[in-house]
Amino acid sequence: NITSNNSSVPFATLVAINDPLRTGPEPDSELIGNVQGMSLLAGSNASSTQYIDFEFNTGKFNGSSLSVFSRGEAGLAVVGGRGQFTMATGTALFNPILINATNVIMEFNFTVIHY
């Protein structure tokens, strides 16, 4: 039971993610894959739980992906992957570059151990 919510985001908001994966924040930077997932905002302080899959469809990691599942803190837990990232573990640190009413641009830095 939430008696007050000072957040600008309503409690229990589910956000679907389906965005391009690029090498940089610029709209014309190289497209290297796709990002899909979901984020559930479930706290009075707009905290979230996220599942996100980063799929690569070009270059050295073509056909591979990295999956994160974690609370929306600065570091997300890498919980697996496909292709070259099978059984991956590690962390994904993110840095918001732009957040406004129509756009979100995030930078992710992965540290990964895989087999």
pLDDT at 106 over 80: yes
Q: Is the pLDDT score of 1 beyond 60?
A: no
Contact status, residue 68 vs residue 94, Cβ threshold 8 Å? no
> How does residue 4 score in pLDDT terms, banded at 50, 70 and 90?
low
Answer for the pair 72, 39: CB distance below 8 angstroms, yes or no. yes
DSSP-assigned letter for residue 37: E
Give 35-71 pLDDT, tens digit per residue: 999 988 876 665 788 999 999 999 999 999 999 998 8
- What are the domain boundaries of the chain? 13-113
Residue 73: count other Cβ atoms within 10 Å of its Cβ.
12
In this predicted model, which residue has the larger pLDDT, 63 or 102?
A: 63
- Share the mean pLDDT of the chain: 87
Residue 13: what pLDDT? 84
What is the per-residue pLDDT for 114? 82
Contact between 31 and 22 under an 8 Å Cβ cutoff? The reply is yes
Q: Tokens 């756009």 label which residue? A: 103
103, two tokens: 């756009």
